[in-house]
């Protein structure tokens, strides 16, 4: 009893001394410290109860890697694969390669000179246009097929026909391509310079059209749609393959007859370039539309310094640690538990993926690949709450006055 009275007297004297010295800041700090210590069990219980209640996990709750205490690992079909970048693809494998630029095509204007002797009267010059059937019509000689031939081959063809008809014995024939017809092709979408461009019919394909427009833009997708003005008889030309390098679905959207080129079709640049098959031609008046990618942003929230939404990088890989870095890093030294909320196509309920900050630094499985629209949430844990309490206490004590 005497000890208790002595202790109370000592405390009263200590408080009286504080009041007499005017150092009331220390007293306020001690009261604040006592309040925080009393609330610590309440905060810990409020955090532990939800954790204990979460023992029965939902059907859509997975772990980025198998935890030692049990739990379902994220299946492979829910893991995202590396995003393909069309700008890294060798598009030259898609070039039509229909022939030399000197080949004579429909609509070209030619000048044909025929010389039977040295005298001026023995020479004739005729300007002709290559007709839709691929032939030219010359005086006396008549119709001669020249489409697809180079000038030297056309000269031999005309000479042979003139001799066959006994018009000349051994004429000298010269063919000049005075004006080559161009295909006017409009290029739209994710290219560097949209517009209408003129292409040689011998190289009027998807690759040449994209190159004329300055190449693919940074937001270019994999899909390219070609709209030709109509189906045309092309018996010597194969149609684009029905799958266009992609076995998961048809890309032909119009007639696919063996003797007809489709009026409209779509190709996957990445898969088609890998296969290197097919001729993706564009006719005069055709339209090439390159897909634009505009992925939704990702969201980073919780115990990070700059919780916000961030643009999803196009054509680049984004993993969990990258997203945390975009948000300025962790705001709590004890933060470790992370949830990734992902909406899966065809499912009404989102998938919840649990990972670990520390494990992600050592394991590629834990450092999960993120997709457009993912939500990354750094969660509170007993450790983060304890750290917050220590920070509050430290601020409460040092923020009012210096004890020593």
> Could you read off the pLDDT of 80-94 as tens digits, one per residue?
888 777 877 888 777
Whose tokens are 């993120």? That residue is 370
Of 21-35, 100-114, 170-184, which gets the smallest average pLDDT?
21-35
Share of the chain above pLDDT 70, in %: 72
| The pLDDT of residue 188 is above 90 | yes
| The pLDDT of residue 307 is above 80 | yes
Separation of alpha carbons 29 and 397, rounded Å: 5
Please report which confidence band the pLDDT of residue 18 belongs to, taking 50, 70 and 90 as the band edges.
very low
What class, spelled out in words, does domain 109-179 have in CATH?
A: alpha beta
Q: How far is Cα of residue 350 from the mean position of the Cα atoms in its chain?
A: 23
What class, spelled out in words, does domain 48-84+296-387 have in CATH?
A: alpha beta
Identify the DSSP state of 87: G
Please report which confidence band the pLDDT of residue 138 belongs to, taking 50, 70 and 90 as the band edges.
very high
CA 150, 151, 153, 157 dihedral sign is: positive
Rounded average pLDDT over 173-198: 93
Q: Which residue did the predictor score with more confidence, 67 or 401?
A: 67
Beta-bridge mates of residue 305:
none
Q: What is the CATH number of domain 89-100+182-292?
A: 3.10.560.10
Beta carbons of 182 and 204 less than 8 angstroms apart: no
Quick one: pLDDT at residue 270? 87
Mean of all residue pLDDT scores within the chain = 78
Rounded average pLDDT over 260-265: 66
- Work out the widest C-alpha separation in the chain, in whole angstroms: 147
Quick one: pLDDT at residue 236? 38
Of 55-59, 88-92, 171-175, 228-232, which gets the smallest average pLDDT?
55-59
Of 294-308, 314-328, 387-401, which gets the smallest average pLDDT?
387-401
Identify the DSSP state of 349: S
Q: Which residues, 6 or more positions from 282, have their beta carbon under 8 angstroms from its beta carbon?
A: 183, 185, 199, 204, 205, 206, 208, 209, 226, 228, 288
Rounded average pLDDT over 297-317: 93
Query: Structural domain boundaries of the chain?
Result: 48-84+296-387, 89-100+182-292, 109-179
| The pLDDT of residue 49 is above 90 | no
Share of the chain above pLDDT 90, in %: 38
Separation of alpha carbons 207 and 383, rounded Å: 57
Of 54-58, 102-106, 158-162, 312-316, which gets the smallest average pLDDT?
54-58
Quick one: pLDDT at residue 334? 92
Quick one: pLDDT at residue 36? 55
Quick one: pLDDT at residue 244? 41
Quick one: pLDDT at residue 24? 56
Quick one: pLDDT at residue 144? 93
| The pLDDT of residue 336 is above 70 | yes
**Global pTM value:** 0.61
Quick one: pLDDT at residue 17? 46
**C-alpha distances in Å from residue 60, one per residue of 106, 107, 210, 224:** 62, 63, 43, 35
Please indicate whether the domains covering 89-100+182-292 and 109-179 agree at the CATH topology level: no
Q: Which residues, 6 or more positions from 114, have their beta carbon under 8 angstroms from its beta carbon?
A: 123, 124, 126, 138, 158, 162, 168, 171, 172, 173
Quick one: pLDDT at residue 2? 45
Quick one: pLDDT at residue 40? 56
């Amino acid at each position: 009893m005497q000890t208790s009275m002595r202790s109370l007297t000592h405390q009263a004297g200590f408080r009286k001394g504080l009041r007499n010295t005017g150092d009331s800041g220390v007293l306020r700090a001690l009261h604040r410290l006592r309040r925080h210590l009393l609330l610590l069990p309440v905060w810990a219980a409020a955090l532990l109860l939800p954790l204990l209640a979460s023992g029965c996990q939902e059907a859509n709750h997975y772990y980025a890697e198998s935890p030692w205490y049990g739990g379902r690992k994220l299946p492979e079909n829910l893991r995202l694969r590396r995003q393909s970048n069309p700008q890294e693809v060798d598009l030259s494998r898609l070039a039509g390669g229909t022939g030399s630029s000197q080949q004579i095509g429909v609509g070209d204007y030619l000048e044909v000179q025929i010389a039977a002797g040295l005298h001026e009267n023995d020479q004739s010059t005729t300007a002709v246009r290559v007709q839709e059937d691929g032939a030219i019509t010359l005086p006396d000689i008549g119709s001669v097929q020249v489409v697809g031939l180079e000038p030297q081959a056309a000269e031999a063809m005309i000479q042979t026909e003139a001799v066959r008809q006994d018009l000349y014995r051994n004429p000298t024939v010269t063919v000049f391509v005075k004006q080559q017809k161009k295909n006017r092709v409009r290029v739209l979408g994710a290219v560097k310079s949209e517009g209408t461009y003129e292409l040689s019919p011998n190289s009027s394909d998807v690759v040449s059209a994209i190159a004329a427009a300055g190449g693919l833009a940074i937001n270019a997708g994999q899909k390219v749609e070609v709209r030709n003005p109509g189906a045309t008889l092309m018996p010597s030309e194969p149609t684009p393959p029905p799958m266009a390098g992609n076995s998961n679905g048809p890309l032909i959207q119009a007639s696919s007859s063996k003797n007809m080129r489709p009026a409209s079709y779509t190709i996957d640049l990445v898969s088609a370039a890998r296969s290197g098959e097919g001729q993706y031609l564009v006719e005069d008046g055709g339209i090439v539309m390159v897909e634009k990618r505009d992925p939704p942003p990702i969201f980073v929230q919780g115990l990070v310094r700059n919780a916000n939404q961030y643009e999803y990088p196009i054509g680049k890989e984004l993993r969990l640690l990258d997203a945390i870095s975009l948000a300025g890093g962790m705001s709590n030294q004890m933060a470790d538990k992370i949830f990734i909320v992902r909406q899966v196509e065809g499912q009404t309920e989102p998938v919840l993926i649990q990972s670990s900050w520390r494990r992600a630094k050592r394991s590629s499985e834990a450092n999960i690949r993120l997709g457009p629209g993912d939500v990354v949430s750094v969660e509170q844990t007993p450790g983060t709450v304890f750290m917050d309490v220590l920070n509050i206490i430290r601020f409460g004590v040092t923020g009012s006055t210096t004890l020593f």
